[in-house]
C-alpha cells in the first residue's frame, strides 16, 4: 500500500510538472501567434539586457521582450495575457531607457515591453495659443527638446537628465529645478493614451476618463501603460544665465531658497546641493564658470565646513540680455551667500538642459557609468528640514565625494492632489536626493554596502523622528510598507488597481501587488 501510494503521488507530481512545463513551452508560441506589426525576442542577450537598469542591483530575466511598433501591439499582448486569466504566471513591465533604480521595469518570467520601439505615430508639434506636442510614451525628452525647438517652443518642466522616456517620468512625477514654478512634469500633461491591465486602449484627460488620467500620473505603472502623451509647451529662450553661490550657514541657505521660489519673476530654475569634505572645491566648478571676483575666489577657504551650493538659472532671448543682467544682479543682491563664491556663466538653453549628458559621456569613457547606483530620494516637509539637516548632514553623511546630494524646495500648490503621487502635506517641501555611485569591489565609504547602510540609517532616523518624509521613486519590499507610504491614499490606490488592472499584470517590479496564480 505504501509503494502504491508513493507511486500515485510521484506520478501525480510528475504530471503537474509536465503540465506546467508544457504550458510554459507553449507561451512563446502563443505570443508569436499574435498578429502584431512588431515582434517578440526570446534570445538570452535581449532578455539579459531587459533585466538590467541604471541601479544595477536587481536582475530578473523576463520570458520575452516585445518590440512594439504601435500601441495596438501593446494592447493585443496585454489583452492576450489578460484572457489567459490567473492560470498564467505572465506579467508585463514597460521599459523605457532603463533608468529605473531597483528593478521597477523588470518582469521576472514575464514580458518586458521595449517602449523605445514605439514610433507610430511620429511626434507632432502643434503651435497656437496653447501649443503642445503629441509624443510616444517611449520618446526621450532630449528628442522632444530638439524637435520643439525647431518651432521656437519647449516643454515647461524637466528632469535634470533628459535621456529618459516620457512614460517613465510621467509614471513617477518628473522633478527638477523648474518644478517650483511649473510643477512636476505630471502637472504639464494635457492628454494621455493608455493601455490598461485588461488590454483596453483608452484616451484620457481632465475632461475625459478623468479618474484613469489622474491614476496613471505618478501611478508607478500600476494602472496602465502610457503609449502616448500630449505635453504642454511654452516659448523657448535662447540662452541661460547660470549662477552658483556658496553658503556655510544652512538657515541662510534655506531662507534664500524659500524666498526665491515665492517670488514671481526671480529665476526659472532653482536647485541646491550639499558639499561635505570636498577639497579644491572652487577649482572643480565647470571650466566655463567664471568667478565674479577672481582674487577673492582664489583666497576662499572652507575650513572643513559643510557647504551648501545654490544653483540658479535665468532664461532669456538674445534681445533681453541687458534687462536680464540687471534682474539677476538685483535678485543676487538680496541673498546672503559668501560673496567671494559668486560664479557665473552663460550657455545656450539646450546646453543647460542637457548638462548631465556631458558627465555621462565622461563617465562612460572611464567605465564608471554602468556601475551600481543605490540612490535615495526623499520629500521632506519644510518644518522638519532643519532637524533633518542637523542629523543627516551633521552626523550620518560623512562625505559627498561619491555623488551629489541635491536639496531644493518645491511649492505644493503646483502639484495636482488628484494624481497618484505621494507628497508631504505642507505648502513647501524639499526634495533631498542622495545620488551616490558605488565603486566596484570597494569596502570603504564609497562601496555599495556602506552606502546602503547609510541610506538605511537615514530612513530609520526619519521614521523614528516622525518627520513626515515620503520617498520619491519609492521602493519597498512588503505591502505593509506600501500601505504606510500611501497612508490615507492607500484605499483609493487599491481600488484603482482593482478597476484598471484587476489581475495585477502590470509593473510587478514595483513589488506593490502580486499576481494571483491558480
Please tell me the distance from the alpha carbon of residue 158 to that of residue 483, in angstroms, as a whole number. 29
pLDDT at position 280, please? 65
CATH of 34-236+479-517, one of 3.30.465.10, 3.90.550.10, 1.10.510.10, 2.60.120.10: 3.30.465.10
Whole-structure pTM value? 0.93
User: Could you report how far apart the first and last alpha carbons of the chain are, in Å?
Assistant: 31
Q: Which fold has domain 239-471?
A: Vanillyl-alcohol Oxidase; Chain A, domain 3 (3.40.462)
**What are residue 63's phi and psi, to 5 degrees?**
-80, -30
Percent of the chain with pLDDT over 90: 85
Catalytic residues, by residue number, are: 99, 160, 271
Strand locations in 84-128, DSSP E? Answer: 92-95, 111-114, 124-126
Whether residue 486 has pLDDT greater than 80: yes
pLDDT at position 159, please? 98
Cis peptide before 121 (omega within 30 of 0): yes
Please tell me the distance from the alpha carbon of residue 447 to that of residue 436, in angstroms, as a whole number. 10
Grid cell, residue 455, equals: 541610506
pLDDT digits (tens, 9 = 90+) for 78-126: 999 999 999 999 999 999 999 999 999 999 999 999 999 998 899 999 9
- Confidence tier at 264 by pLDDT (50, 70, 90): confident
Q: Note whether 324 and 314 are within 8 A (CB).
A: yes
Q: Note whether 218 and 171 are within 8 A (CB).
A: yes
Grid cell, residue 449, equals: 554596502
How does DSSP classify residue 205? E
Mean pLDDT of 370-387: 98
Q: Where exactly are the structural domains of the chain?
A: 1-27, 34-236+479-517, 239-471
Whether residue 8 has pLDDT greater than 70: no
pLDDT at position 1, please? 52
Q: Is the dihedral of CA 105, 108, 110, 116 positive or negative?
A: positive
The per-type count for the chain, helices as H runs and strands as E runs, is 16, 19
Amino acid at each position: 500500500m505504501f509503494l502504491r501510494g508513493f507511486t500515485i503521488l510521484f506520478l501525480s507530481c510528475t504530471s503537474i510538472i509536465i503540465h506546467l512545463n508544457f504550458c510554459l513551452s507553449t507561451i512563446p508560441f502563443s505570443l508569436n501567434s499574435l498578429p502584431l506589426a512588431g515582434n517578440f525576442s526570446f534570445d538570452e542577450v535581449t532578455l539579459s539586457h531587459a533585466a538590467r537598469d541604471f541601479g544595477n542591483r536587481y536582475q530578473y530575466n523576463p520570458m520575452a521582450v516585445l518590440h512594439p511598433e504601435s500601441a495596438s501591439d501593446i494592447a493585443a499582448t496585454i489583452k492576450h495575457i489578460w484572457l489567459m486569466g490567473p492560470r498564467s504566471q505572465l506579467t508585463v513591465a514597460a521599459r523605457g531607457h532603463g533608468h529605473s533604480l531597483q528593478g521597477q521595469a523588470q518582469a521576472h518570467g514575464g514580458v518586458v515591453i521595449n517602449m523605445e520601439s514605439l514610433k507610430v505615430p511620429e511626434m507632432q508639434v502643434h503651435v497656437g495659443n496653447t501649443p503642445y506636442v503629441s509624443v510616444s510614451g517611449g520618446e526621450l525628452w532630449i528628442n522632444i527638446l530638439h524637435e520643439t525647438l525647431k518651432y521656437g517652443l519647449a516643454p515647461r518642466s524637466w528632469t535634470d537628465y533628459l535621456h529618459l522616456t516620457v512614460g517613465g517620468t510621467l509614471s513617477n512625477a518628473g522633478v527638477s529645478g523648474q518644478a517650483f514654478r511649473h510643477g512636476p512634469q505630471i502637472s504639464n500633461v494635457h492628454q494621455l493614451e493608455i493601455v490598461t491591465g485588461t488590454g483596453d486602449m483608452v484616451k484620457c484627460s481632465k475632461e475625459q476618463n478623468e479618474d484613469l488620467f489622474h491614476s496613471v500620473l505618478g501611478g508607478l505603472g500600476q494602472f496602465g501603460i502610457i503609449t502616448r502623451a500630449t505635453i504642454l509647451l511654452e516659448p523657448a529662450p535662447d540662452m541661460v544665465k547660470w549662477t552658483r553661490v556658496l553658503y556655510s550657514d544652512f538657515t541662510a541657505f534655506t531662507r534664500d531658497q524659500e524666498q526665491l521660489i515665492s517670488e514671481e519673476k526671480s529665476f526659472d530654475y532653482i536647485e541646491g546641493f550639499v558639499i561635505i569634505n570636498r577639497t579644491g572645491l572652487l577649482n572643480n566648478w565647470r571650466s566655463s564658470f567664471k568667478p565674479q571676483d577672481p582674487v577673492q575666489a582664489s583666497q576662499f577657504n572652507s575650513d572643513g565646513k559643510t557647504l551648501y551650493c545654490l544653483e540658479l538659472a535665468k532664461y532669456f532671448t538674445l534681445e533681453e540680455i541687458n534687462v536680464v543682467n540687471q534682474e539677476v544682479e538685483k535678485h543676487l543682491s538680496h541673498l546672503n551667500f559668501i560673496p567671494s563664491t559668486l560664479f557665473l556663466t552663460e550657455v545656450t538653453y539646450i546646453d543647460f538642459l542637457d548638462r548631465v549628458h556631458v558627465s555621462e559621456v565622461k563617465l562612460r569613457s572611464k567605465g564608471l557609468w554602468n556601475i551600481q547606483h543605490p540612490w535615495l530620494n526623499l520629500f521632506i516637509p519644510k518644518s522638519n528640514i532643519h532637524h533633518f539637516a542637523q542629523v543627516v548632514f551633521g552626523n550620518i553623511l560623512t562625505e559627498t565625494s561619491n555623488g551629489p546630494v541635491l536639496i531644493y524646495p518645491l511649492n505644493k500648490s503646483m502639484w495636482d492632489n488628484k494624481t497618484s503621487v505621494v507628497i508631504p502635506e505642507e505648502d513647501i517641501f524639499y526634495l533631498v536626493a542622495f545620488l551616490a555611485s558605488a565603486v566596484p569591489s570597494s569596502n570603504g565609504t564609497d562601496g555599495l554596502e556602506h552606502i546602503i547602510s547609510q541610506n538605511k540609517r537615514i530612513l530609520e532616523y526619519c521614521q523614528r523622528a516622525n518627520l513626515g518624509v515620503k520617498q520619491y521613486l519609492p521602493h519597498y519590499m512588503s505591502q505593509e510598507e506600501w500601505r504606510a507610504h500611501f497612508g490615507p491614499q492607500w484605499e483609493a490606490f487599491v481600488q484603482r488597481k482593482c478597476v484598471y488592472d484587476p489581475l495585477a499584470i502590470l509593473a510587478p517590479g514595483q513589488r506593490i501587488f502580486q499576481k494571483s496564480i491558480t
